């Protein structure tokens, strides 16, 4: 009887000890506990992060934001760009009034820039997308054609202007030689803008083609396969499946097209320095800030150009983001 009591007491002690001893953490709980631990950044980590964020921000501020803000401020002043800031004379909105009401070249320049934008947006850019779609099908000779279209992209617009001056030369140019004409393509103010647009599109088409072709290579092939199973044609597959999936690339192309159209300068300056039917806002900014020494007036033109550039970009981005939210 005594031994039975001892045995029962021992068993109860073992059970009590077992209940009080916490069970070891399961293998599933251990990684969770490790993930929950917060590792504090060391001083070296903080310095590296500060440098990685601070240096690009400083470069962006010095090269972009400070000049932009300075242009906005100087647009309300008269200054020749030489000497101390104390020589700056504040004249309010006189520069803007002169731009809109006095300068005879402003409204032709705005019209030419808008024509440039429309030509690139509705002719050159769609052609680049079209060639990208064709080359994406990997037809025979597509690699050679891709190299041919990409070649002008490597040229600067100044070099493009020189090349097309030789092509459009009234005396020994390729166009007049082939068609046996004697047209001054860059000298006639009625047609020189369209000739310059053809030259600029030669490079722009290749640039858009490369961007869109890279985007097409990243589209999931299963999307096209599913569309083909549903009986969609190639045209329906592109516009209803592929094109919506290319939204990030489409946004980039819209921004690039607007910027390329409104900052057009090199090719026009090479042709005739932005005169005789080729007035553009960029050439007016250069002329007034350089030889004319009218920094305030040139700053007003730059601000106007900035506003014109932001309007279509903001409108397209806002529409794109609204569709994403839906």
DSSP 81-147: S-S-GGG-EE-TTHHHHHHHHT-TTHHHHHHHHHHHHHHIIIIIHHHHHHHHHHHHTT-TTHHHHHH
What's the pLDDT score for residue 17? Answer: 45
Q: Give 73's contacts (C-beta < 8 A, 6+ positions apart).
A: 299
Q: Give 237's contacts (C-beta < 8 A, 6+ positions apart).
A: 224, 227, 228
Residue 298 in any domain: the answer is: yes
Residue 23 in any domain: the answer is: no
Residue 185 in any domain: the answer is: yes
What does the block give as tokens for 108? 């032709």
What's the rounded Cα separation, in Å, for the pair 280 and 80? Answer: 22
Confidence of residue 5 (pLDDT cuts 50, 70, 90): very low
Residue 194 in any domain: the answer is: yes
Confidence of residue 13 (pLDDT cuts 50, 70, 90): very low
What's the rounded Cα separation, in Å, for the pair 229 and 241? Answer: 13
What does the block give as tokens for 96? 């803007």
Q: Are 281 and 109 in contact, with CB atoms under 8 Å apart?
A: yes
Q: Are 243 and 221 in contact, with CB atoms under 8 Å apart?
A: no
Q: Are 236 and 129 in contact, with CB atoms under 8 Å apart?
A: no
Angle separating helix axes 106-119 and 295-325, nearest 10 degrees: 30
Confidence of residue 128 (pLDDT cuts 50, 70, 90): very high
| SS3 (DSSP) at 77 | strand
pLDDT tens across 46-99, in order? 889 999 999 999 999 999 889 889 889 999 998 887 777 778 899 989 999 999
Residue 33 in any domain: the answer is: no
Q: Looking at the 3D structure of the chain, how many domains does it have?
A: 1
pLDDT tens across 196-240, in order? 999 999 999 999 999 999 888 888 888 888 888 888 888 888 888
What's the pLDDT score for residue 119? Answer: 95
What's the rounded Cα separation, in Å, for the pair 180 and 264? Answer: 31
Answer yes or no: pTM beyond 0.85: no
What's the rounded Cα separation, in Å, for the pair 171 and 137? Answer: 42
Give 25's DSSP letter: P
The label of the residue with tokens 């044609």 reads 233
Q: Give 204's contacts (C-beta < 8 A, 6+ positions apart).
A: 120, 124, 125, 128, 257, 260
Task: Give the domain extent around 181.
Answer: 93-325
Give 294's DSSP letter: -
What's the rounded Cα separation, in Å, for the pair 40 and 38? Answer: 6
pLDDT tens across 244-303, in order? 888 888 888 988 898 888 888 888 988 888 888 889 999 999 888 876 678 899 999 999
What's the rounded Cα separation, in Å, for the pair 52 and 58? Answer: 11
The label of the residue with tokens 């607007």 reads 258
Chain-centre distance of CA 35, in angstroms? 39
Q: Are 282 and 273 in contact, with CB atoms under 8 Å apart?
A: no
Residue 83 in any domain: the answer is: no
Residue 226 in any domain: the answer is: yes
Of the candidates 76, 106, 80, 70, the one whose C-alpha atom is nearest the C-alpha of residue 295 is 80
Question: Is residue 126 scored above 90 in pLDDT?
Answer: yes
Residue 9 in any domain: the answer is: no
Residue 160: CATH number of its domain = 1.10.3720.10
């Amino acid at each position: 009887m005594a031994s039975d009591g001892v045995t029962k007491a021992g068993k109860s002690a073992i059970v009590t000890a077992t209940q009080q001893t916490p069970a070891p953490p399961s293998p599933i709980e251990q990684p969770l506990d490790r993930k929950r631990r917060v590792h504090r950044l060391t001083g070296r980590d903080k310095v590296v992060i500060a440098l990685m964020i601070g240096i690009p921000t400083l470069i962006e501020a010095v090269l972009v934001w400070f000049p932009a803000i300075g242009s906005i401020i100087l647009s309300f002043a008269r200054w020749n760009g030489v000497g101390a800031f104390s020589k700056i004379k504040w004249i309010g909105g006189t520069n803007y009034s002169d731009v809109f009401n006095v300068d005879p070249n402003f409204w032709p320049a705005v019209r030419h820039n808008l024509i440039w934008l429309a030509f690139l947006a509705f002719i050159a850019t769609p052609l680049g997308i079209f060639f990208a779609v064709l080359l994406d099908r990997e037809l025979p000779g597509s690699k050679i054609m891709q190299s041919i279209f990409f070649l002008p992209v490597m040229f600067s617009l100044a070099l493009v202007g020189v090349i097309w001056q030789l092509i459009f030369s009234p005396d020994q140019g390729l166009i007049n030689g082939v068609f046996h004409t004697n047209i001054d393509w860059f000298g006639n103010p009625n047609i020189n803008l369209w000739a310059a647009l053809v030259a600029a599109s030669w490079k722009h088409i290749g640039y858009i083609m490369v961007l869109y072709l890279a985007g097409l290579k990243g589209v999931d092939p299963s999307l096209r396969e599913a569309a083909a199973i549903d009986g969609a044609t190639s045209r329906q597959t592109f516009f209803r499946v592929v094109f919506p999936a290319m939204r990030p690339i489409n946004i980039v192309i819209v921004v690039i097209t607007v910027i390329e159209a409104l900052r057009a300068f090199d090719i026009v300056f090479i042709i005739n320095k932005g005169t005789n039917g080729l007035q553009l806002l960029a050439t007016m900014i250069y002329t007034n800030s350089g030889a004319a020494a009218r920094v305030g007036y040139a700053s007003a033109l730059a601000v106007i150009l900035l506003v014109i550039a932001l309007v279509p970009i903001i409108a397209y981005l806002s529409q794109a983001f609204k569709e994403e939210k839906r």
